Amino acid sequence: MNITRRTALAGAAASAAALTLPATSLRAAAPPAGKQAPGFYRYKVGDLELTQIHDGARTFPLPDSFVKNVSKEDVNKALESLFMPRDQMTITFSPVAVNSGSKLTLIDTGNGPQAQANVPVGLLASNLAASGIDAKNVDIVVISHFHGDHIGGLRTADGGLAFPNAEIKVPAAEWAFWMSDENMNKAPEAARGGFMNARRVFKDLADKVTKYEGDKEVAPGVTAIATPGHTPGHTSFVISSGSNKMLVQSDITNHPGLFATNPGWHLVFDMDAAQAEATRRKFFDMAAADKLRVAGYHYPFPAVGNVEKAGNGYRVTPVMWSPTL
């Protein structure tokens, strides 16, 4: 009998198939997971270990005046260029943790557990835990500004402190603005919610929070820079370790595909739009000069990219996932 190599191989394959087929057909179908993986992304700046923590996303019908100084059609064209649906906006939220080895700092806290049902936000607590960070081990919480999507996560669902052992540091100018009853009383009815929410979150913390000014180191490796306009005391941060440095922009822009590309666009949430635009251009000029890495609270996850000048504005190129730090 003359068995060629080819027929021998074919025979072996056939018997392997015969052996494995019944096992395969008996195995249950893998059920779909039906939910997203935990959202966190880790990287280093010098000796500092940073973790971007996803707090979730909010999707809503695009308001006519989402950008106050351009037409809704211009916004829709920009959304289409980003492969996002027309007439709909999605905003994502990403606080960042900075571990210096001696101190663990969290910058901003997400929407918190009070968020409405069926809106996938307020995920900071679960994603922080998934990343291996115990909320009890957070030493310092630094707040960039008092909008609800940045301070809501300071509280647990039952009103307790989400980071019970942390010193809470807030911009002095934000505290002065939002906690002023005079400012609340003269604000239009529609704008009262923000003042009420600040009072809910900070109700018994007046003597406990530390109020900081710009250009001060607020945590190891974290220096505040005053970037007013979005709110009166809005603050961004320089993260530095040795010769390594990056920026945490907070709300200098919302989605960079809209507002870094078009720095002259005035987001409806920018309280002083002209000041916000001037701050935005100055901040991005600084970032682009050194092609600095920038973390953006409302950037698509992992919410970190490099900034350069492009066209009449700026381009943010997202970092690539890295399997190592």
The two beta strands, 217-219 and 222-226, are: antiparallel
Residue number with CB closer to Zn ion (110 or 220): 110
Q: What's the closest the beta carbon of residue 320 comes to Zn ion, in angstroms?
A: 25
Query: Rounded to the nearest whole angstrom, what is the least distance from the CB of residue 296 to Zn ion in the complex?
Result: 10
- Of 147 and 293, nearer to Zn ion (C-beta) is 147
3-state class (DSSP) for residue 292: coil
CB of 269 to Zn ion, least distance (A): 7
Which of 149, 174, 270, 277 is close enough to bind Zn ion by CB under 5 A? 149
Q: Which stretch binds Zn ion (CB under 5 A): 197-205, 234-242, 243-251, 278-286?
A: 243-251
On whether the CB atoms of residues 157 and 149 are closer than 8 A, the answer is no
**Closer residue to Zn ion, CB minimum distance, 149 or 270:** 149
Q: Which distant-in-sequence residues (6+ apart) come within 8 Å of 132 by Cβ?
A: none
Comparing every residue's Cβ against Zn ion, the nearest one is: 251
**251 is a site residue for Zn ion (CB under 5 A):** yes
What is the closest distance, in whole angstroms, from the C-beta atom of residue 39 to Zn ion in the complex? 17
Q: Can you tell me which residue has the tokens 């900070």?
A: 202
Sheet holding 244-250, edge to edge: 217-219, 222-226, 235-241, 244-250, 293-296, 304-310, 313-318
Q: Exposure of 214 by Cβ count < 10 A (0-12 exposed, 13-18 middle, 19+ buried)?
A: middle
- With contacts defined by CB under 5 A, name the span among 16-24, 109-117, 149-157, 193-201 that binds Zn ion: 149-157
* Cβ at position 147, least distance to Zn ion in Å: 5
Length of the chain: 325
Q: What are phi and psi of 289, to 5 degrees?
A: -60, -40
Smallest gap from Cβ 47 to Zn ion, in A, equals: 29
Give me the least distance between CB of 132 and Zn ion, in Å please: 26
The single-letter DSSP state of residue 154 is G
CB closer to Zn ion, 55 vs 149:
149
Phi, psi of 123 (to 5 degrees): -90, 0
Position 55 contacts Zn ion (CB under 5 A): no
C-beta of 144: minimal distance to Zn ion in Å? 8
Give the closest residue to 298 by CA, choosing from 263, 249, 246, 261.
Answer: 249
Nearest distance, CB of residue 44 and Zn ion, angstroms: 26
* Residue (149 or 174) nearer to Zn ion, CB: 149
Is the bond preceding 256 in cis, omega lying within 30 degrees of 0?
no
CB 14 within 8 A of CB 6: no
Determine whether 250 is exposed, middle or buried from the number of CB atoms within 10 Å of its CB (0-12, 13-18, 19+). Answer: buried
Strand partners, 167: 140
Annotate each residue in 260-299 with x if it binds Zn ion (CB under 5 A) or - if it does not, as one string. ----------------------------------------
> Could you tell me which stretch among 162-170, 190-198, 249-257, 284-292 binds Zn ion (CB under 5 A)?
249-257
User: Which of the stretches 50-58, 80-88, 118-126, 144-152 binds Zn ion when contact is defined by CB under 5 A?
Assistant: 144-152
Based on its alpha-carbon atoms, the radius of gyration of the chain, rounded to whole angstroms, reads: 24
Burial class (CB in 10 A: 0-12, 13-18, 19+), 102: exposed
Closer CB to Zn ion, 100 or 249, in the complex? 249
> Taking contact as CB under 5 A, which single stretch among the options 65-73, 114-122, 145-153, 304-312 is the one that binds Zn ion?
145-153
Residues that bind Zn ion (CB under 5 A): 147, 149, 251
